Amino acid sequence: MVQHRFLGNSGLKVSEITLGNWVTHGSQVDDEAAIATVHAALDAGITTFDTADVYANTKAEAVLGRALAGQRRESLEIFTKVFFPTGPKGPNDAGLSRKHIFESINGSLRRLGTDYIELYQAHRYDNETPLEETMQAFADVVRQGKALYIGVSEWTAEQLRDGHELARQLGFQLISNQPQYSMLWRVIEDRVIPMSEELGISQIVWSPMAQGVLSGKYLPGQPLPTGSRANDTKNGAAELIQGFLRDDVLEAVQRLRPIAEEAGLTMPQLAIAWVLQNPNVASALVGASRPEQLAETVKASGVTLDSGTLVAIDTALGGAVYADPEATYTASPARRPS
């Protein structure tokens, strides 16, 4: 069964594997398959579910709400996010203004079919709204009981520091950050993780398999697999994966195969177990379009990789690893998207 970890400097425990529904629910798979996948996650011991209002333009939240209907609410940790435009995408339908935060949380709760969520996350940093306004709105969301905790996604070390200090002054906790992190994408290691450790903030990492590249199914010099994420132009996944599809990267990934076999793991299990070796990582976000995909994925929970395996991974990947901390400063747009 999936193990649990504390999220940041809080008493909230989350499952080491979180089921996310970015490119699946309400878009890539039909609702019946999505609901069956959520139920398979519950059967495997996953209690933590992550979504966002922008996923499939609010449909993903609605599907997750239907999938969790009838479950014991106290046994779940439901996360969602606010920032990107939804609805008709009017001038106030995006960002982290007080207006958008309150309209978004109310819509999310309605679609999810719940009175509250465990974690409400700023999906990016809003450079056009004063941070004081954003954090005051989050404080009020917490005081109204609509969210128990506040997190962020893809904030820089400095933004985390400033947000954490304002949260402390306003009497609530900023307990998590949701960045991209994998064997191939390590940009948070230099500044974000040290700052987070100092502040008591955990990482909930997305794309631990580098958009599926670390599964080993993409082969150098070969056509892209039919139906793969690299061919999915609807949700932006194909764009995100492009940087990992160079032959030198794919060749390096294939060198991980014997390492995984030696450790008694599949390639996806090795990738997820690797991010969970970092003590600042509370949970790895995974997606699934079919229930059976989770059966193997969840076996990465509780795995300890010895030092020899970790060194072998670094040696195999070599120059394919991207770790420039400056990349954390380009994750949030200069202006609100529309």
Taking the C-alpha atoms of residue 213 and residue 203, their distance in angstroms, rounded to an integer, is: 21
Rounded to the nearest angstrom, the gap between the alpha carbon of residue 332 and the centroid of all alpha carbons in its chain is 15
Q: Are 151 and 79 in contact (CB under 8 A)?
A: yes
Taking the C-alpha atoms of residue 88 and residue 92, their distance in angstroms, rounded to an integer, is: 10
Phi-psi domain of 221 (left: phi exceeds 0; alpha: psi -120 through 50; beta: other): left
322 is catalytic: no
How many other CB atoms sit within 10 Å of the CB of residue 255?
A: 15
Taking the C-alpha atoms of residue 138 and residue 132, their distance in angstroms, rounded to an integer, is: 10
Q: Choosing from 55, 149, 181, 218, which is the catalytic residue?
A: 55
Residue 329: partners with Cβ closer than 8 Å, 6 or more residues away: 156
Token pair, residue 224, equals 């892209």
What stretches of the chain show up as alpha helix (H) in DSSP?
31-43, 59-68, 98-112, 131-143, 157-170, 192-199, 237-241, 247-254, 257-262, 267-276, 291-297, 307-317
Taking the C-alpha atoms of residue 210 and residue 75, their distance in angstroms, rounded to an integer, is: 30
Half-sphere exposure of 275 (CA within 13 A, CB side): 35
DSSP state, residue 230:
G
Active site residues: 55
